[in-house]
Structure 1
Amino acid sequence: MKYTFRLILIFILIIFSFFSYPAENNSKEKKFQILYYNSENQEGFWWRTTSEFMQAACQNLGMDLNIVYVDRDAAFMVNDFKNKAATLNKPDAVVFQNLKSNAVNMLNIAEENKIPAFIFNAGLTEEQDKQYGKPREKFKYWIGQILPDDKKAGYDLAIQLFNEAKRLGLKDKNGNIHFLNIIGTKTDTSSIERENGLKLASQHEKKIILDQITTANWDRNEAEKSLNWLILRYPEANVVWAANDLMGLGALDSLSKTKIKPGKDIIIGSMDWVPEALKHVQSGKLFTSLNGHFIETAWAAVLVYDYLNKNDFASEKTSFTSKMTVLSKSNINLYLKNFKPDNFKKINFSNFSKVKNKNLKKYDFSFDLVLKKIISN
């Protein structure tokens, strides 16, 4: 009888251990699913680089990343998120920019489905900001944002161009330096803020004359067509200020059909660090390009990772600002030598996470710091 009882007890223990095995597996750390809406497509350098950086950061932090390219279709982004948010396998967090003012619709979907949402690159418009405020004010699940200081970038680009034109003596008889200015769109926050920075520079430097500001929808061909007639209408123009590199390249395309020599007769500057543009920075046809904020997606991944692992970055703040770095002939070679997609994987993004790095007291999201990490490796 005693022997039989022991056999039964052993059998029960075996059965119990068999059924309890999956529970042991479930105790492992959850692998979070992150959804990233890329506003463009894989062809453009800037937006492709945002995906590469975010993929490197998520992989380093042990998260799965789903990238959806929307090709500037704001309505598609909203509808796709609505469908994904309603599934049983909904994402643990979503990252996106305010594309054509669609952020409020995206935030409403996140709120309804209790999905943490993080905005990068382009925040709420001024009107939206007045109505909905900052992260966690009206939308509980809008957990944070990281945005470039586009206004300062627009200002810095203008001052850089002004100083170079002044150095080269490119001015009219009254000492004024005339700017032709090409912005992206009237609705994109980044375009609006860069234009605001340009206007602020013209207020601070009275010798800056903004002959005309025109839109080219971030497009190279449109910028070329715009400059074709702008250069005829304003023959005294000394500077072309372009809100992105593609439009700066469009300006170069236009000038190539004239006798005007970029870098000598007229100074051109832009933003985004597109490879073709940087080659022209090397040659001197483009004076400068500002960027570095494509790494914001990696910083978004770090902040989302910490939040999902119960170390809320709100203890520091919910709105972060990234600064743009100026590339010119003085530092372009260092950048080109080290800044390659294969090197992104060398960056240990755990060093920037408060969950992974217990000694970290304050987030340090600096492109220059990342470049130093790449060089040191």
Structure 2
Amino acid sequence: MRCGKQSELLYLNRIEFVMMFMFRTMLVVISLLLSVATTSAEVIRVGVVNPGYQDTGFWGQVSDVMAAAAKQLNIELVEVYGQRHWKIMLNEGRVLIEQQPLDYLILVNEHQRAKDLIRLAEHKQLPTFMLLNDFDEPEQTYSFWKGSLIPDNHAAGLEMANRLFALQQGSPRLFTIIGDHLTPASLARTSGLDSALQANTSVKELLRVSGEWSEEVAYQKTLLMLRRDTPNMIWAANDNIALGAIRALKQHNLVPGKDVALAGLNWSQAGLNAVEQGELLLTHGGHFMAGAWMLVMIHDYHQANGAIPTLQQTFEMSAIDATNIKKYLECFGDKQWSRIDFRRYVLSKEDLSKGRQYPFHLKSMFRFASSCRQ
């Protein structure tokens, strides 16, 4: 009897030992899994020197879309704003670079003024990416310049002009309102217009002025134009400029979209409304998505530990007009950018090493958004 009890106790001890061993093994496995999850969920800290305003206009929209992408990609954004003044942009940028612990930096070469910031980032050995407005220097100039994402503004300016010219019969008369004389995006859009003018010698350009990206400035300068002559086309470097021109046309009892055809750029809400109402032939753009798309590039660069070529990509913008305005508004009219699955843009180290390009365009926006009917 005693022998039976001893055997039973020995059997129970063995079971207890096995269970304890399995429990400890399970704890080790769970610990390893948690460790891997923590590593893969490492937060990437990205500083952004935004040349515009936080809550309004084109640059406010850039920030909104970036916030949606950052949340999906486990990125913490540290953003400062230049309020459309290059001196404020430089001051805010210097403070950001000098005082914030960052993994990466995004700069915009607004008014060609960002060179001081990239030099400071170089000194700090801070990997830097250029957004929308690039430098006119080769990337080899700076060891920590790791990539850029630039829209094809030349192609956009060219398409805007060609679409306007295609509407005209008889005596085409163009009034041109550019953005400014310094920003690379403005210069490239204007060069696209010039290419169209060279190919369409029948078009008479009545006057070319700078709208300074401002609706009010464009409004005033269009009023001055209308006192001299009446164009039947207005090429506007952005939607704000186009809207200012529309206001001036109405004040002169001219019907935008009928008496005078206009093309703008930005996909702004007011620009989209003008397209929907027939006052604006088109609003070109989509480049407010570029900040979010650049976060995808930074995510992939980080995952590859920098062991990939410098990431440089130019992407095509798209025109929103009467043919696609309805679908765009159905998909994105409420500006819920989190409906786009930005993780579907992610490329592997192998893809990038082979030079594969990201699908940054309107079609992918429709395809990757849960709110879009295919």
Range class of TM-score, shorter chain: 0.7 to 0.9
Which 10-residue stretch deviates more, 260-269 or 347-356?
Answer: 347-356
Q: Retained in 2: the 8 A contact 1:223–1:251?
A: yes
Equivalent of residue 272 in structure 2, options 278, 297, 300: 278
Does residue 256 in structure 1 map to residue 250 in structure 2? yes
Which 10-residue stretch deviates more, 194-203 or 367-376?
Answer: 367-376
* Cα pair distance change 1:229/1:369, threshold 3 Å: same
How does the TM-score come out when normalised to structure 2?
A: 0.84
How does the TM-score come out when normalised to structure 1?
A: 0.83
Does residue 234 in structure 1 map to residue 240 in structure 2? no
* Cα pair distance change 1:356/1:338, threshold 3 Å: farther
Does residue 297 in structure 1 map to residue 291 in structure 2? yes
Equivalent of residue 344 in structure 1, options 314, 337, 345: 337
Does residue 332 in structure 1 map to residue 325 in structure 2? yes
Tell me the residue number matched to 1:189: 184
Which 10-residue stretch deviates more, 362-371 or 255-264?
Answer: 362-371
Whole-Å separation in 1 of the counterparts to 2:267 and 2:151: 15
Whole-Å separation in 2 of the counterparts to 1:298 and 1:258: 41
Whole-Å separation in 2 of the counterparts to 1:146 and 1:191: 16
Tell me the residue number matched to 1:142: 145
Whole-Å separation in 1 of the counterparts to 2:58 and 2:127: 25
Whole-Å separation in 2 of the counterparts to 1:65 and 1:328: 33
Whole-Å separation in 1 of the counterparts to 2:142 and 2:37: 31
Tell me the residue number matched to 1:223: 218
For residues 242-277 of structure 1, what are the alpha-carbon distances to aligned partners after superposition, in whole Å with 9 as ceiling and x for unaligned? Answer: 000001000011011112221221111110112122
Whole-Å separation in 2 of the counterparts to 1:365 and 1:313: 22
Does residue 155 in structure 1 map to residue 149 in structure 2? no
Tell me the residue number matched to 2:8: none
What is the RMSD of the two structures over their aligned residues, measured on CA atoms?
Answer: 2.6
Gapped runs of 5+ residues in structure 1?
Answer: 1-16
- The DSSP-based 3-state class of the residue aligned with 1:146 is strand
- The DSSP-based 3-state class of the residue aligned with 2:251 is coil
Q: Retained in 1: the 8 A contact 2:81–2:92?
A: no
Amino acid across the alignment from 1:200: S
Does residue 32 in structure 1 map to residue 44 in structure 2? yes
* Cα pair distance change 1:163/1:311, threshold 3 Å: farther
Whole-Å separation in 2 of the counterparts to 1:366 and 1:45: 21
For residues 306-329 of structure 1, what are the alpha-carbon distances to aligned partners after superposition, in whole Å with 9 as ceiling and x for unaligned? Answer: 1122254854x6321121111111
After TM superposition, the runs of 4+ consecutive aligned structure 1 residues lying more than 4 A away are 23-27, 311-314, 355-362
* Cα pair distance change 1:258/1:351, threshold 3 Å: same
For residues 335-364 of structure 1, what are the alpha-carbon distances to aligned partners after superposition, in whole Å with 9 as ceiling and x for unaligned? Answer: 111114653212222221124998995422
Whole-Å separation in 2 of the counterparts to 1:356 and 1:350: 15
Which 10-residue stretch deviates more, 244-253 or 45-54?
Answer: 45-54
Q: Retained in 1: the 8 A contact 2:82–2:90?
A: no
- The DSSP-based 3-state class of the residue aligned with 1:270 is strand
- The DSSP-based 3-state class of the residue aligned with 1:256 is helix
Whole-Å separation in 2 of the counterparts to 1:310 and 1:65: 20
**Aligned residue pairs: how many?**
339
Whole-Å separation in 1 of the counterparts to 2:360 and 2:338: 17
Does residue 363 in structure 1 map to residue 358 in structure 2? yes
Whole-Å separation in 2 of the counterparts to 1:341 and 1:76: 32
Tell me the residue number matched to 1:13: none
* Cα pair distance change 1:263/1:80, threshold 3 Å: closer
Q: Retained in 2: the 8 A contact 1:81–1:109?
A: no
Deviation at 1:221, TM superposition (A): 0.7
Q: Retained in 1: the 8 A contact 2:179–2:186?
A: yes
Whole-Å separation in 1 of the counterparts to 2:36 and 2:92: 32
Equivalent of residue 92 in structure 1, options 84, 93, 103: 103
Q: Superposition pairs for residues 31-70 of structure 1, below 5 Å?
A: 31-70=43-82
Q: Retained in 2: the 8 A contact 1:40–1:69?
A: yes
Amino acid across the alignment from 2:156: A
Which structure: larger Rg?
2
Q: Retained in 1: the 8 A contact 2:51–2:85?
A: yes
Q: Retained in 2: the 8 A contact 1:290–1:325?
A: yes
Gapped runs of 5+ residues in structure 2?
Answer: 1-27
Does residue 108 in structure 1 map to residue 103 in structure 2? no
